Structures are given as structure tokens and as C-alpha cells.
Structure 1
Amino acid sequence: MSGQPELFDVTIIGGGPTGMYTAFYSGMRDLKTKLIDANPELGGKMLIYPKKIIWDVGGVTPILCRQLIDQLKRQALTFDPAIFLGEQVVSMDRQKDGTYTLTTAAGNQHWTRTVILAIGYGILKMAKLEIKGADRYEISNLHYTVQELEPFRGKKVLISGGGDSAVDWANALEPVAAKVTVVHRREEFGGHEKNIALMKSSSVRVRTPFTVSQLHSSGGEQIEEVTICHTETGETERLAVDAVIINHGMRSDFGPVREWGLDMGEWSANVSEKLETNLPGVFAAGDFVNYGSKVRLIAGAFMDAVLAVNSAKLYLDPEAPKTAYVSSHNERFKEKNKALGTLES
């Protein structure tokens, strides 16, 4: 296409659960919507944990992360937003007419009237085990995520970490593996209380406060034993293992976002209760934001999306309704309801 690219009402940067729900709700508000994400597929951080079970989304019974991604994706596409994947936005420039030009690393440009940032903690990479030579076992039995449970059946598994994912993996693997040992550098775990209690009441062996200090292999191809070290006394213990799973969190990198003039702290952008950033026409939602009543749950991210879109709508049209009509009375769903056969004749 020659000339200036098509102008959109809202461009969402980020394709995780926040970005996907933002795209859906933006469609409810009859806004011309685009979503751009650096990853090759939608899902954001959730793609790292496809087998993790999600319990805390309203109206949704326990669901695999992969299945929730698929449902959010289908919902996001309801009003046919433009989706651009595999494009990292590296600059955001406000024009004289108040619109924004977004430029990607590949040099592509996107024009938009407003921007909603749903970028989470930026580009995420798993924190690696900081032991020299550990990377050579990544092709065999050193893992940084659990994609499937079956490969661990009947095996002695050591999990290093103390967050939600480490606890969830321990609980999921406990009935599958021959033995599960969880090593954490602190006495306290950072996961949800019920899941921690379940882990501690099961056959999972918990060793705290310990860290993984050495990996041992007679043939050099697979880890056969692990030495763990008490963080206070220096006491060591050597454990036989068939697989090692590391969950030491994520390394986040906001990259050029920090150069865009946003009011940002170390991990997030400061926004108003209406999800407004300090830049005109730029709003934010999800893990990327911080405000007084912020709720760091997926359900909270959905509400952030609603508030950010409502603010964008009013920024574009101050006379517009403050929020969308509920779906049962929203004209945008009339034809879609007919197609589903849900309306009375």
C-alpha cells in the first residue's frame, strides 16, 4: 500500500490476556482496532505455561492455560481487529495532529489516534540456572518450563524455585513422577496459599532454605545427581535425579519503551485510576500498570482493559457514553446473536 498507512482509533501493543481482552472490548465500543505483538502468536506470558491450570477467572471452571489462550483468542477476534504478530514496536512518536506513529524494529509504521499499552513486563526471558556448564543439559534433562507431564512419568524430579509455577508444577507432577523434590532458597513460598498447603501435605519433598549448587554427570549428557546447599549453614546434600526443572522467575526487558517519555517505575508505568498515562492519548493496562487499587489477577487485567478502552473512547469522543452497554443490550451483538440462534423469534 502506498502513502500513509491506515489510521486506527486504538492500537494495542501486547498480545497477552490483557491485550486480547482489550481488543474484544474495543470492538464492543465500536472502535477501529489494531493489535501488535512482538511474539509470533497471541498469548503473552501464558505461552510459557501451557499446562498450568488457571482457577481464578470469573465464570470459568479450572482450565488449562493453553485452552484459556485459545478462548481469549477467539473472543479477541469477535469484531475483526487488525492483528500484527512478530513485530516489536521500538518507537512511539506523537504527530502535530495528535495522532501517533508507531515504528517497528523492521521499519514498518502504524498510524493510530490512541495507544493502549498491554506489554506486561516487557520482553520476558526465563532466568537461567547460574552454574557454569548448565546450558549443555538443556537438550536433555534440564528444563525451564513444563509443556507436558507425561515425559516425567516414573522419574525422580527436582524442582528449583518457590513461586506459583514451581508450586503448581510440583502438585501436577506429584501423582505422575516417582519422586518430586522442591528446593527453594527461602523458607516461605510465593505461590497461592492453597496450592502451597496442597504441596506440603502431599508426598512432595520440600527442602528449604536450599539452592542448587552443583550438577553431576558421569557421561556428560544428562544430569544424574544434584548437590543442594543450605543457604545459612553451608550444609550440602547430594540427590539422585532423572530431571531438573528450574523456575527462578523471568528476566524482563522493556527495551526502548523506557525512552518513550512514560512515567515509569522499575517494573511498571504509573497511571491514573482511569488507566491514563502521563502522555496524551496513551493508556495502559495489565501487569504493566501500577495504581492505587491495582489487582494483579487475570480478572483484574480484564477490568484494566475495560477502563483503558473507556478512557480512550472518551478521549476520542467526550460526548460518548462512559462505558459500553452490556452485551445482552448491545447492538454490536445483534447480528452475532442471530447467527448463534439465541434471539427469540
Structure 2
Amino acid sequence: MFEDLELYDVTIIGGGPAGMYTAFYSGMRDLKTKVIEFNPELGGRIHYYPEKIIWDVGGLTPVTGAQLMQQLIQQAQTFEPDLVFNQQITGLERLDNGNFILTAATGERHYTKTAILCMGYGVPKMAKLEIEGADRYEVTNLHYTVQELEIFRGRRVVISGGGNSAVDWANALEPIAASVTVVHRREEFGGHERHVAQMRQSRVDVCTLCGIAELHGCGSCIEEVTIAHLETGESIRLPVDDVIVNHGMRADLDALKQWGLEMNEGHVVVDEKMESNIPGIFAAGDLAQYPNKVRLIAGSFTDGINAVNNAKLRIDPKADKVGYVSSHNERFKERNKALGLVGDEQKI
């Protein structure tokens, strides 16, 4: 039975940027909080892009993914939420008392008054290059993420993809690589306009309406690639030292579909309270869908705040609708003193 389980106010499923900031804000609202993450550590998809430069988080100068991740991890643990790793939540049961039991694929159960889904696009799996035999090069010079820019210095690099990461990698590698060629199946790129313009104005060779048709290698290394135009069929063969593939993520959201959640194209539909069609189940970040949704890390923070505030009201209808800003929040008073940021005689 559930009586032997510890009851939480808020259980956050997903430990990426949305989940981490939501955990922090849940602590600000003095809610008993748990975070459940599929991976063995917090960070989410940022782990795939540790050297990607992130410009669009308010109040921060450009930072690498790794730097932002470490700051978010530190912030998430401010109010010491319980952290659970290596568990994928697959089961949801609403109890007669209105609370929920969340069950992991491994059998562990979690008891909570509300849940906030911060699972992004689900359990992430990199979309692989769909060329027979490509997997044998994954241990050498076929890459699905860029962990360290320096390993590409002075090398001939082909990047396949047209999203933000592909464009950012092209711009980051252009000054240090011997050559950079970007191959994209469409005319338009999905990256931010400014970054796309930067790429097009640099010495990056941009091939649109094209795809990698063949990999040519000796043993375990790719030595050349065939790039084919998707409409004309014309092709060129390029010598290459490294191939980087960014075809997006494929996600596993099958469990959510079984819960009865209203979904649309891989997103959970929520209302203005960030609440799903199941009362008490909220969503934030990339997983959430609502009118005028902004799919930026900064937007996910606001989603988390909204979800927590409404979870708080669900638990205690007499609570304040929003939390006090940190400069007036009692939970920070002693912490500010400990950090030497305010004198004993001053009031926050």
C-alpha cells in the first residue's frame, strides 16, 4: 500500500534545465520536493552540448553548456530537494485521496500530492546517421555531439544537420578547423537568425538541399564522404577527418500516452496554469505546449515558476498566488547573511 511511502508536495520528473529551476523555485515556495531523473546525474540534454555557447539566458553573459549546467545544478540544490537517479517513471495512478503514485520501470514507487513533468522530449536518444555500416565509425571519427572543440583543430570537418546545435558547432569550429562543411536537407536553417547569418558570412561551406549519401573509410575511420543533392542527384566526394551528425533527438514518451494525458505532436497540452487535463499533473519546459509557447531555456524557467505556484495553490488554496521575489523571501534571509551579502541590521 501507499501508506509506507513518504509523501511529497511536488515531484518533478526530469532533471534538465526546466526541472532544475523548478526544483529551486519549489524550495522558494517551501514545498517538500523530489526530483526524479532517468540519467545518473542532473543536467538533461545539456550533457550532449557541453561546449555549446549559450547566449540567451537573462542576466548571464555567454556561457558554455557545461558552465550553465553546473550553475543550475548548484541552484537546484539550494533547498536540498531529494534527488533520485537512474529511474524512468512509467506508471501513474491517482488515489482516492487525490494524491498520486508514480512507478518506475524498475518497480520503485513515489508518493506525491502533485507532479510537474519536465521531461523535455522524453528519454533522449540521438537520431543516428541512416547509412548502413555507419555505426562502426562511432568509436573514431563519427560524432553525435561535440564534447571538446580542440580535438577538431586543424581538421577537415563535415557537419550534417541544420538546427541550432549544427549551426553553433559550425561557427565554433570555423576559426580552428582546417575546413568546415555543413550539409543540410533543407534551404532554411532552424538555428537563430543571427547565428545562421554568421555561418553563411564565414568561410564555412554551406550545402543545402543535400545529404550525406555514403561514407568511405579504411578500417574504423571515415576518410571521405559522398554528398548528394536531393533534387538533382549530383554528388561530390570530399576528403574528411571528422563527421559530426546533428539530426535531433528521438524521444520515448510512450508512458505518458498511457496515462491519459492530452498530447499534441509529442507535447503535453497545458492550460494557463501549466496544468494538464489530469488535475494535479503539470508540465514545464519543452514538454509543455500552450499558445505562444517560447522554446528557450529562459522560457522553461517561467513555465516552472507558473507550475509550482499553481501546485502550491492546489495543495493550499489559501496560499499566496505567487512567491515573494528572492530579495524579500524569508528563506534567503539567513543565507544572505552567511554569504556576507547583508548586514545583521539590514532587512531584506
| 1:267 corresponding residue in structure 2 | 266
Identity %: 62
Deviations 1:85-118 (A, max 9, x none): 1111110111111111111111111111111111
Instruction: Write the distance in 2 (CA, Å) between the matches of 1:161 and 1:280.
Output: 39
Q: Tell me the secondary structure at the aligned position of residue 229 of structure 1.
A: strand
Residue of structure 2 equivalent to 1:318: 317
Q: Deviations over 1:171-216 (max 9, x none)?
A: 1111111011111111111100111111111111111111100111
Give the deviation of 1:169 after TM superposition.
Answer: 0.5
**Could you say which residue in structure 1 is the equivalent of 2:234?**
235
Question: 1:237-269 CA deviation, whole Å, 9 max, x = no partner?
Answer: 010101111111111110212111111112201
CA distance in 1, matches of 2:71, 2:303: 19
Query: What SS is found at the alignment partner of 1:113?
Result: strand
Take 1:130 and 1:64, find their aligned partners in 2: how far apart are those partners? 30
Runs of 4+ in 1 over 4 A off after TM superposition: none
Where does structure 2 lack aligned partners over 5 or more consecutive residues? none
Task: Quote how far apart the aligned CAs of 1:292 are.
Answer: 1.1
Aligned pairs (5 A) from 1:173-188:
173-188=173-188
Range that drifts further, 9-18 or 258-267? 258-267
Q: State the AA in 2 paired with 1:45.
A: R
Secondary structure class of the residue paired with 2:75:
helix
2:96 corresponds to 1:91: no
- Aligned pair 1:300/2:324, yes or no? no
Distance in 2, matches of 1:326 and 1:145, equals: 38
The number of residues matched between the two structures is 343
Shift of 1:3: 6.2
Name 2:24's counterpart in structure 1: 24
Partner Cα separation in structure 1 for residue 208 and residue 116 of structure 2:
42
Deviations, residues 296-333 of structure 1 (Å, cap 9, x unaligned): 11111000000000000000111100000111111111
Structure 1 residues 73-222: aligned runs within 5 Å: 73-217=73-217, 219-222=218-221
CA distance in 2, matches of 1:123, 1:289: 15
- Where 2:69 maps in the other structure, the secondary structure is helix
TM-score, scaled to structure 1: 0.98
Please state how far the C-alpha of 1:5 moved relative to its aligned partner: 1.6
Give the whole-Å Cα distance in 2 for the aligned partners of 1:230 and 1:13: 42
**d(CA) in 2 for partners of 1:145, 1:50:** 9
Q: Distance in 2 between matches of 1:157 and 1:141?
A: 10
Q: Which amino acid aligns with 2:184?
A: H
Structure-1 residue corresponding to 2:335: 336
Structure 2 counterpart of 1:157, one-letter code: V
Task: Compare 74-83 and 2-11 and name the one that shifted more.
Answer: 2-11
> How much has 1:221 moved relative to structure 2?
2.1
Alpha-carbon separation, structure 1, partners of 2:167 and 2:262: 34
* Conserved 8 A contact 1:93-1:101: yes
Which amino acid counterpart does residue 302 of structure 2 have in structure 1?
A: M
CA contact (8 A) 1:273 1:292 kept: no
Q: For the residues of structure 2 that align with 1:321 and 1:3, how far apart are their CA atoms?
A: 30
Match of 2:47 in 1: 47
Distance in 1 between residues matched to 2:241 and 2:342, nearest whole Å: 57
Unpaired runs of 5+ residues, structure 1, are none
- Please state whether the residue corresponding to 1:19 is helix, strand or coil: helix
| CA shift digits 1:96-145 (9 cap, x unpaired) | 11111111111111111111111111111111111111110111111111
- Give the 3-state SS of the residue equivalent to 1:224 in structure 2: strand
